[in-house]
Amino acid sequence: MTKMRTPPMDAETNLLRFEASPYLLQHAENPVHWRPWGAAALAEAKRSNRPILLSIGYAACHWCHVMAHESFENEAVAALMNASFVPVKVDREERPDIDTLYMTALHALGEQGGWPLTMFLTPDGDPFWGGTYFPPTPRYGRPSFTQVLQSLAAAWAEGAEAIGINKTGLIGAIVASGASDTGTGIAEADLADAAHRLLSLLDTEQGGMKGAPKFPNPPIFRFLWQYALHHGASDARALEGRTAMHLLLRRMADGGIHDHLGGGFARYSTDGQWLAPHFEKMLYDNAQLLDLLALAEADRPDVVYREAAEGLVGWLLRDMGIADGEGDVAFAASEDADSEGEEGTFYVWQKAEIDAVLGDDATLFDAVYDVTEDGNWERKTILRRRRMPHDQDESKRLAASRARLFAVRAQRPRPGRDDKILTDWNSLTIAALCRAAAVFAQPSWLEAAIGCHRFLRRHLGMEDGRLRHSWRDGRIGAAGLLDDQAAFAVGCLALFQATADATYLAEAETMVAVIDRWFGAEDGGAYTTAADADDLPAAFGRPRSAMDQAVPSGPGLFAEVLAKLFHLTGEIRYRDRAETLLRAFSGTPGRYPTMPSLLQASDSLDYGTAVVVSGPDADGLHAMALASGDPSLTVFRLRIDGHVAVSDSHPAASRLGQAPTAGASAFLCHRGVCGLPVTTPEGLIAALPAFGSTSVRAA
């Protein structure tokens, strides 16, 4: 049963102990009188006429821990916070809508942004100043946190004019970020321009984007991959996107950002060579990277991709699974960077440790994984692969060595785990598991995706069709956002294509109606928050943005759903709705490179291919279609029991009479035209779009 929290908001104490979020609970013993975000905290600030000190972070955030230890656990600093402010703590993963609003304000102040995010607000929730991490004493060119608190408390007490000026400007920036930006839609020339601009930012030596730190940026590389696939024949630069994604994945798989023993990838690398990460592992990164690994493997099979994917899924199932007692498992949000009070302690090694464990096998392992006496990071060693095994014997020896070291590492104190379940991140994981199960021929991964879907529907589903955003230990943490509904629909469509179970298709179609009912905007766009959301400052209006962050935007995911539904069903209403949505965010072409998911959905709408598979013996063709490297491909398996049948509006409807009466066949449909039936896997491979060619065989 879902439990609701009812903290006593008038208590002069830290109220985070009533919360479900692991991040908020990390701060429950601080001497700071923290409040969770909500109407009660805003009301308290108004009653006391004190500004709000808003601190936003997440459980796996290293610098959030640092600031907590230095300042929030300090009695003197806490006393100053309690006397002059209403301190409010927010888990950015639980409330990404609040985080986005105030991060927008920080950017308007000219700050780069990051976490912890530290903002100062009026009692109405209007921002007037902010920053990120503040040290306990002045350093890094920043004032101490105490100096900041004293200065802003005095400015508030004196009614400083600058507070009103700043507030007005920052509110304007937030309102502008959510304003309607309707245009005429996204043309092919717009796709090319955005792709070329992104391609110019790539690091052609180390992979990823130029410079440091290095983030994976999966939405960017997924768009560039699809753009290369569909436009490589007409755009000379397009194929750079294909090369770029292969390079990114190879460099990351070899680098220290990859956990070579336990699987999975850290959030980002602090340097330009993918060596030294902040060691937190996030579900959203790994879900998207699994999807990219499957696409790359489908294009160019490589043992590096297979091993990375198997290790990643192994980590998910072994370390991140949360069972619900009904036989189903969803996945925790993250693992921390820190253990034993230090960053990376769980993951790094000294040469002597490795030599003691491996004995005679240490010489080979040390040479391959960059193990030296002096280390490669702060006199310690982060394992990174310097070369591939020369032969099968070396490969087996290295695998055995990794297993032995993994067993030793497992005895160390583990990093903390944020075990809340997030609908959007788990839905991205469902979709990735479906693709990877097909590409890597791992049916158990599809079963994991099916179980995760059941978990989300059972524990986070609402009677009105919406899904809530977060859940932990039987308690709901936050209301559902656009991203949750759209990502869940993406997962449903992946499951429908993989299983031919019409229930999943019906769920995805229902989610379109749910999104339009609760999140639809007057201009055809979509808001981030639902129509009944009631705890955001009124001055801002309802937020909306198609800009991708580390994950695809809600509008980008919604547009992908609409494009796929159009290709799966042939129903023009989905195309019309997609075009309206795309127009709603197309008013400023200069922003397009920040919206790769929306661009990819636009490209899918126009250039996506549908494969309709029929016949009682069509398993091979179905599996072949699912294992395609085209992210826009949709696969419709007709079942002989009649439960799934293509609608009369689908372009394949007129072709089905040409299918062989026995055996299996597949029809490829592209831009409203379906080809003659293909009856062999080899014929299907030849007919599918390939890099450098946009042709789909049609009669």
pLDDT tens-digit map of 83-93: 999 999 999 99
Do the domain assignments include residue 550? yes
pLDDT computed for residue 650 by the predictor = 72
Per the model's pLDDT, the better-predicted residue between 642 and 340 turns out to be 340
pLDDT computed for residue 676 by the predictor = 85
Per the model's pLDDT, the better-predicted residue between 591 and 660 turns out to be 591
Same-domain check for residues 132 and 39: yes
* pTM of the predicted protein model: 0.94
What is the average pLDDT across 264-272?
Answer: 96
CATH of the domain at 321: 1.50.10.10
Same-domain check for residues 456 and 501: yes
Strand order, beta sheet including 127-131: 35-36, 86-91, 52-57, 117-121, 127-131
pLDDT computed for residue 538 by the predictor = 84
* 339 contacts: CB under 8 Å, gap ≥ 6: 345, 346, 412, 413, 414, 415, 416
What is the average pLDDT across 10-15?
Answer: 80
Do the domain assignments include residue 697? no
Tell me which DSSP letter residue 291 carries: H
What is the average pLDDT across 150-176?
Answer: 93
Same-domain check for residues 223 and 122: no
Do the domain assignments include residue 204? yes
What is the average pLDDT across 609-617?
Answer: 89
Mean pLDDT for the chain overall: 93
Of all helices (H) and strands (E), which one includes residue 55? strand 52-57
What is the average pLDDT across 387-408?
Answer: 97
Of all helices (H) and strands (E), which one includes residue 613? strand 609-614
Q: How confident is the model at residue 126 (pLDDT cuts 50, 70, 90)?
A: very high
Residue 484 has pLDDT above 90, yes or no: yes
- For residue 632, what are the domain limits? 609-687
pLDDT computed for residue 695 by the predictor = 44
The percent of residues above 70 in pLDDT, for the chain, comes to 94
pLDDT per residue as tens digits for the range 400-454: 999 999 999 999 999 999 999 999 999 999 999 999 999 999 999 999 999 999 9
The percent of residues above 90 in pLDDT, for the chain, comes to 83
Residue 3 has pLDDT above 80, yes or no: no
Do the domain assignments include residue 11? no
Same-domain check for residues 149 and 69: yes
Same-domain check for residues 403 and 433: no
Same-domain check for residues 139 and 226: no
pLDDT per residue as tens digits for the range 275-288: 999 899 999 999 99
Residue 4 has pLDDT above 90, yes or no: no
Same-domain check for residues 400 and 422: no
Residue 7 has pLDDT above 90, yes or no: no
Of all helices (H) and strands (E), which one includes residue 343? strand 342-343
Same-domain check for residues 562 and 644: no
Closest among 204, 223, 316 to 265, alpha carbons compared: 316
End-of-domain residue from the set 376, 411, 446: 411
What is the average pLDDT across 485-491?
Answer: 98
CATH of the domain at 136: 3.40.30.10
Of all helices (H) and strands (E), which one includes residue 403? helix 392-409
End-of-domain residue from the set 574, 607, 640: 607
Closest among 636, 628, 634 to 690, alpha carbons compared: 628
CA atoms of 437 and 432, how far apart (whole Å): 8
pLDDT computed for residue 623 by the predictor = 95
pLDDT computed for residue 640 by the predictor = 59
pLDDT computed for residue 698 by the predictor = 35
What is the average pLDDT across 32-60?
Answer: 95
Same-domain check for residues 386 and 509: no
Do the domain assignments include residue 8? no
Same-domain check for residues 205 and 100: no
Q: How confident is the model at residue 77 (pLDDT cuts 50, 70, 90)?
A: very high
Do the domain assignments include residue 488? yes
Tell me which DSSP letter residue 214 carries: B
Domain count of the fold of the chain = 4
What is the average pLDDT across 106-130?
Answer: 93
* Minimum mean pLDDT range among 54-58, 156-160, 228-232: 156-160
Residue 211 has pLDDT above 90, yes or no: yes
Same-domain check for residues 596 and 623: no
Same-domain check for residues 589 and 647: no
CA-to-CA dists, residue 325 to 78, 330, 455, 463, 476, angstroms: 41, 11, 10, 22, 17
Residue 98 has pLDDT above 80, yes or no: yes
Q: Is-contact 469 480, C-beta < 8 A?
A: yes
End-of-domain residue from the set 411, 430, 451: 411
